[in-house]
Structure 1
Amino acid sequence: MHLGRIAIQLHASAPLLFSRRATATALVLPHSRRAAFAMAATPPVARKVPRELAQHGDVRVDNYYWLRDDSRSHPDVLAHLRAENLYTATIMSDVKNLEDEIYAEIRARIKEDDIGAPLRKGQYYYYNRTLTGKEYVQHCRRLVPTDAPVTVYDVMPTGPNAPHEHIILDENVKAEGHDYYSIGAFKVSPNGKLVAYAQDTKGDEIYTVYVIDAESGKFVGQPLEGITSDIEWAGDDHLVYITMDAILRPDKVWLHMLESNQSDDICLYHEKDDMFSLGLQTSESKQYLFVESGSKNTSFIFYLDISKQSKELVVLTPRVYGIDTTASHRGNHFYIKRRSEEFYNSELIACPLDNVAETTVLLPHRESVKIQSFQLFENHIAVYERQNGLPKVTAYRLPATGEPIGQLQGGREIDFVDPAYDVEPEQSQFGSSVVRFHYSSMRTPPSVFDYDMDSGVSVLKKIDTVLGGFDASNYVTERNWAAASDGTQIPMTILYRKDRVNLDGSDPMLLYGYGSYEICIDPSFGRSRFSLVDRGFIYVIAHIRGGGEMGRKWYEDGKLLNKRNTFTDFIACAEHLIENKYCSKEKLCINGRSAGGLLMGAVLNMRPDLFKAAVAGVPFVDVLTTMLDPTIPLTTSEWEEWGDPRKEEYYYYMKSYSPVDNVKAQGYPNILVTAGLNDPRVMYSEPAKYVAKLRELKTDDNLLLFKCELGAGHFSKSGRFEKLREDAFTYAFILKALGMAPKAAL
């Protein structure tokens, strides 16, 4: 439980004002329409069915437990969700034109007909193409010309004499007839003749895998049903995939021979510990496949030698509590990133294929530098790290295969120009000296670079075109730090348009936070947010504890019995921004999704006076009830994240911040809550119950809106333009809450 705006001033009596306006308008409406409008403009009231929940001698009464329906089809539940959606649409109807305007702005920044940076694999260049007006991508490839010049930086030929483009798969065609469509994996076989892709048509993240001929598109064999998106080729005629148990925990890894029945597949490993989940990864060399079984604190690895006729798993790293490992392969060594309680920021080691117990330290543990990941090449290694809250990439040359290896020396560190930025590894060619990475900042559009690890020269391969008059020089990004209640310095990244803000406390602000699962919320580029920033908003990301931005301890200081640090850090950031005249309470809006939605719920209960409006997307707000129920997806695997409330200490600590359990009779800001009916990560019932309890207890007349997507899951709608609608709706709500939305006639 893995994240737009002028005339009439809204105030505390806004819903009452809408009610009056509806009454006045009703004078010119037919009676039936008047009655329908009045009903739709009345907040739905969920019926109360008290249910006692007892644990450790403590009894909680949940009046809205009935909203949870595992089948997601109970008529009363669906009727309530539809009533909430109708109410939200009615209340937001006066800013529908503004929503449409913002949507048009966001979409106008997109170059709709475009291709991604091609990557050479074997005899083909592979890339994705988008088309004007189309929601989804096409997966394409072109042959590498036989007379193509050999250069360090590979370039796909274009123009009339370039090889013909072949569309392997058009998602737009596959999506026809589906309200939701997502491809979670697209894997080309080693010989380039076949493609396996994982398809989800509900948003529940349960995939069907199809294998097709890459040239003809014809299906090969029968689809594989009910699996995760984790699939890998084990040679040209076998697939390895993972299935889930009843609570959607990835627990079994299978070997499938092409054109055989799924019922005949071989189970390579079954993870029976319900706190562990399985994952797959193939080495950059394509010679080994790794199966990782991991919890939040521990992971161990098996490997499969793809070249061998018998496909069997062999233990690479043992299962030892508190030791976390990831692995890859080059030459006659496995390379392993290993974290332990002692080496909490990880170390990088290598071991011979024929003696995995004999390890050599390549990069030692460092207190100030966290090793996040690494990429192997025939002669190099690129290491992705974090220092002082920022990503860094260092490339090292490796000794020739067969030569002794030792501690890495003389690495080249790649330079980045922005004060805060996001860097992510991209797929690269194993036999090349070039590492490809993705770069952006809050003012720099997404860019793909090829960096020659021998010369230290970067070449820009692709930068996303941003239309609509976007000029990066108009915007400022900066880093700032807030002091938490215990004195810890919390980093923030700030974006604003330098000719639209005053920095005197009068500017509106949207403050975003997450702070869970050791996830780093780095300041990447977002086209949508410029519809706020160009209206004078300051946009801020608070890199609070519970995330991984400042290293492993940053995460550990914001989880389990330290979880409240996440919330107080966010409040400290808000107070710092107000004290330093970036904004005021009257113009401070906040936003978070999923575990970031938990953050929203917690800080709204703790300091409702500090914010003007809040948006909680698919929020994990019923923490205690959910974590006490091992039949719900993710519960058992997340006891190491939040704590196991079957233990009294964790129960009462979680109860102290669980948003649903701490809603009380007090004033709250304007609030928008969203959900997805098919969400497997945060059940729709959590936000539904949260809104119902807020409606029951809150003492203000501020907006409280709930929008549930009935045909989507955790990540909202699937189409690239459909997703923009959610942004436009959210921004219209924020502008409405701030009184910055133009008045529209009903």
Structure 2
Amino acid sequence: MKLTPPSADAKEFYTNYHKEKVLDPYFWLKEKQNPAVIAHLKKENDYFNKMLKPVSGLSGKIFKELKDRLPKEDAAVPFRRGQAEFFHRYVKGKQYIQYCKKVGSKVSVLVDFNKMVKKGGYLSIHDMGVSYDGRYFAYSIDTKGDEVCDIVIISTETKKVISHLKNTGGNFTWSNTDMIYYLTLDGHIRNDKVWRHILGDNQKKDQCIFHEPDQKFFISCYPSSSKKYLLIRSAEKVSSYVAYLPLDEKGQTRPKVFSKLKNDVLYSIDHAHNGFYIRTNEKALNFKMYFCPDNKIDKKHWKVIIPHSKDINLLGMENTSKFLCVYERSQGLPKGRIINRETGKVYFIKFPEAAYNMSFSSDYYEYGDNKIRIHYASPITPKTTIEYDLLTRKQVVLKVDEVKKFHSKNYQVEYVMVPGHDKVKIPLCIIYKKGLKKNGKAPAMIYGYGSYGSTIGYNFVPSLVSLLDRGMVYAYAGIRGGSELGRKWYEDGKYLKKKNTFKDFISCTEYLVKKKYTSPERLSAKGGSAGGLLMGAISNMRPDLYKVICAHVPFVDLINTMFDDSLPLTKTEYKEWGNPHDKKYYRYMKSYSPYDNVKEQAYPHMYITGGLNDQRVTYWEPTKWALKLRDFNSGNNDVLLKINMGEGHFGKSGRFDSLKEVAEEYSYVLTKLK
């Protein structure tokens, strides 16, 4: 017997933007405190669970595979602080890490995060770190999924709590002494204040040293590479500025602005022993880099050290005592540019695989060590941790993540450029198990995001092995709105060009069909958050091209959300999508907003998730969307909705609980693509 999906009361309510009255019968679902709302969400979850019951056997089997693929015990590569080494590890059967200290051969557990969460509860470790002298360990945790964190600081000798800071944003920065800096949130999950805390003091004594009142700007703080300055960056989507302060300053000195805010100009800075390094996109779309001495920070003293290139996007930098290390991206892939400041010689760190991801950090070493730690992976190469000596260029592999029952030689990666609707070439990474017959009969999943300038990292994802081993083709679409091909790639997929994002994704999908990797009857698509908006748009534009669409915490009620200034993030989002109070942007946004463009047609199977405590994409967006899809769906495919009642934007926590959700999704998709 076919199950009947839950319905909700359709109440007569009209929104009225720019004098356009639009019926929104599910607007009332925003009332989180209304018992009828919670009752409806529970009905949705009950229906979801019943609909997935036929695949529970496959789901259990895949979950076991995912779990067995992980080592029962695993430890990160240690790093040294003072006379001790520090690392975190998983122990057999436990969901969360232990943070450990090692002196000689003796290992002691500083914090066991498993003891902080009840069975089925939520715990997200937002940040953690050891002070530069190794005397203190700090961590921040979120126990509700609302991204509000406690910061706890303990002695690494006695394990006693030194300070407990509540209602923070979770980020902190050590000084070289007995101080720590941390951020707090306004009512919009926006970091807006920096506080100075003396270890051991009552939090009420803490001094606010910086406040950003503009709701469009988010602040972050971090130490300079030289550990001489605290750097505070305030940024919106297209503009930023940096303030700086001596890292160990205890007096009343306030941070100084390095270079004043300028509209549509982004910049960041770092400090090495000989001066400041500036990365800016002023008159340089993909950024360029300058240097200036400590005592001459006026722009007239800035000297170009890396000029702008239309083909290379400069993404970030770090410094050691002798080297400037630049993180950049070209041809869609990351690279490291290393500059010896004493000799001026330049060389590059890059890797030979067709598609990969790479990052590096000097944080694990002393400033004078002139070493960095590289984290490398590809879709078929597990995460590899490498110690890299900048002077000798010697690489030492410190660890390759263990992945059981996996051999990279059995899999193939292709990195191709796909022609888009306007002939622009789009990067597409395709992964499959060797022996694939390109006859259109293989199941496939294509993933996309395409917003905020975020790039898809071609990382190794252990869970994907369970799909690849079942003959599935998996693809990553590097669509416009991301920064895969530079800043212009991002700008050509936002504001009044946002539809390029959706059209690029469809072009990549059509390529998979045209080249007979798969066919529409065996094809699924996946995206989350802003990638969920992408899923909503393609479901309206080309429902015939997909059998299943998986949309996680999807941003789909674009117009209502962008007109609601009381919601977190709304105002800062104007620089991504446009300001809907401007009729030009309103009409364009409304023309692709997934919720507003649901129409009578046959939709693919829709697998939708959300979180009750999500402050980024509120639970009512996927809830309203699922109901409207059912109202207008002229076909017989499922519209499923699952709302995690105790979690937020990032879903289940825990090493194994999160895998259960993955297995659940995989089993449903695989069954529908048969």
Residues 111-143 of structure 1: CA distance to partner in whole angstroms, max 9, x if unpaired? 120111112233222211111111111111223
The answer to whether the Cα contact below 8 Å between 2:81 and 2:130 also exists between their aligned partners in 1 is no
Shift of 1:178: 7.0
* Residue equivalent to 1:472: 408
Distance in 1 between the 2:39 and 2:350 partners? 55
Rounded Cα–Cα distance in structure 2 between residues aligned with 1:679 and 1:572: 32
Alignment partners' CA distance in 2, 1:98 and 1:230: 40
Residue-by-residue CA offset, 1:382-429 (whole Å, 9 max, x unaligned): 211111111111212112xxxxxxxx9432212312110001223331
Structure 1 residue 46 corresponds to structure 2 residue 47: no
Secondary structure of 1:570 counterpart: helix
- Distance in 2 between the 1:698 and 1:167 partners? 55
**1:116 corresponds to which of 51, 67, 76:** 76
For residues 244-267 of structure 1, the C-alpha deviation after alignment (integer angstroms, 9 at most, x for no partner) is 222222212222223333233222
The answer to whether the aligner puts 1:62 opposite 2:4 as a matched pair is no
* Equivalent position of 2:382 in the other structure: 445
The residue number in structure 1 matching 2:286 is 345
Whether the aligned pair in 2 keeps the contact of 1:178 and 1:201 (CA below 8 Å) is no
Read off the aligned partner of 1:275 and give its amino acid letter.
K
Instruction: Give me the whole-angstrom Cα distance separating, in 2, the residues matched to 1:169 and 1:176.
Output: 16
SS at match of 2:635: coil
- CA drift of 1:83 comes to 0.4
For 2:573 and 2:566, how far apart are their aligned partners in 1?
13
Give the SS at the match of 1:633. coil
Shift of 1:322: 1.5
Residue 573 to residue 724, structure 1, CA distance change in 2 (3 Å): same
Shift of 1:450: 1.3
1:189 match: 131
- Which residue among 493, 518, 528 is the counterpart of 1:558? 493
Cα RMSD (Å) of the superposition? 1.4
Match of 1:31 in 2: none
Q: Decide whether the 8 Å contact of 1:412 with 1:453 is kept in 2.
A: no
Could you say what secondary structure the match of 2:339 adopts?
strand
Task: Indicate the SS of the match to 1:386.
Answer: strand
Listed as ranges, the matches of 1:336-735 within 5 Å are 336-340=278-282, 342-357=283-298, 358-399=301-342, 409-426=344-361, 427-429=363-365, 430-467=367-404, 469-499=405-435, 501-735=436-670
- 1:236 Cα deviation (Å)? 2.9
Q: Which amino acid aligns with 2:388?
A: Y
Q: How many residues are paired up?
A: 669
Q: What are the Cα deviations for residues 30-57 of structure 1, in whole angstroms up to 9, with x where unaligned?
A: xxxxxxxxxxx32000111122111112
Query: CA–CA distance in 2 between the matches of 1:345 and 1:86?
Result: 49
TM-score by length of 1: 0.88
Match of 1:272 among 201, 213, 230: 213
Tell me if structure 2 keeps the 8 A contact 1:198–1:209: yes
Distance 1:140 1:339 in 2: 41
Q: Give the superposition deviation at 1:535.
A: 0.4
- Give yes or no for contact 2:440–2:518 (8 Å, CA) kept in 1: yes
Q: Which residue of structure 2 lines up, in the alignment, with residue 156 of structure 1?
A: none
Alpha-carbon contact 2:81-2:132 (below 8 Å) kept: no
After superposition, where does 1:59-458 map in structure 2 within 5 Å? 59-69=21-31, 72-143=32-103, 162-176=104-118, 179-221=121-163, 223-310=164-251, 312-340=254-282, 342-357=283-298, 358-399=301-342, 409-426=344-361, 427-429=363-365, 430-458=367-395
CA separation in 1, counterparts of 2:381 and 2:528? 24
**CA distance in structure 2 between the partners assigned to 1:365 and 1:121 by the alignment:** 38
CA contact 1:567–1:602 (8 Å) conserved in 2: yes
Q: Distance in 2 between matches of 1:178 and 1:108?
A: 21
Instruction: Compare 453-462 and 297-306 and name the one that shifted more.
Output: 453-462
Task: Give the 5 Å matches for 1:5-16.
Answer: none
Q: How far off is 1:639 after superposition?
A: 0.6
User: Structure 1 residues 586-595 or 187-196, which shifts more?
Assistant: 187-196
In 2: Cα distance, 1:259 partner to 1:627 partner: 43
Counterpart AA for 2:403 = V
| 2:18 counterpart letter in structure 1 | H
Query: Could you report, residue by residue, the CA deviation over 1:33-88 in whole angstroms, capped at 9, with x for unpaired residues?
Result: xxxxxxxx32000111122111112122111111113xx44311111111011001
- Asked if structure 1 preserves the Cα contact closer than 8 Å seen for 2:101 and 2:156, the reply is no
TM-score, structure 2 normalization: 0.97
SS in 1 for 2:584: helix
Whole-angstrom CA distance in 1 between matches of 2:36 and 2:59: 30
Q: Where does the alignment leave 5 or more consecutive residues of structure 1 unmatched?
A: 1-17, 20-40, 144-161, 400-407, 740-746
Superposed structure 1 runs of 4+ greater than 3 Å apart:
none
| 1-structure distance, mates of 2:118, 2:23 | 45
C-alpha deviation, 1:177, in angstroms: 6.3
Q: Secondary structure at the match of 2:575?
A: helix
- Confirm or deny: 8 A CA contact 1:622 1:659 kept in the other structure: yes
Change (3 A) 1:74 1:214: farther
| % identity of equivalent residues | 39
Aligned partners of 2:248, 2:74: CA distance in 1, in Å? 38
- Matched to 1:389, the amino acid is G
Aligned-partner residue type, residue 349 of structure 2: I
- Structure 1 distance, partners of 2:305, 2:658, is 43
Deviations 1:538-569 (A, max 9, x none): 00000000001110000000011111100000
Query: Over residues 413-464 of structure 1, what are the superposed CA-to-partner deviations in whole Å (9 max), with x where a residue is unaligned?
Result: 1231211000122333122122211110000001111122222222111100
- Which protein has the larger Cα radius of gyration, Structure 1 or Structure 2? 1
Code of the residue aligned with 2:272 in structure 1: it is: R
Please say if residues 506 and 584 of structure 1, whose CA atoms lie closer than 8 Å, have aligned partners that are also in contact.
Answer: yes
Q: Could you tell me which amino acid in structure 1 is paired with residue 79 of structure 2? A: L
Letter in 2 for 1:359: W
Answer yes or no: is the 8 Å Cα contact 1:618–1:714 preserved in 2: yes
* Amino acid in structure 2 at the alignment position of 1:93: K
Matches of 1:463 and 1:733 in 2, distance apart?
Answer: 32
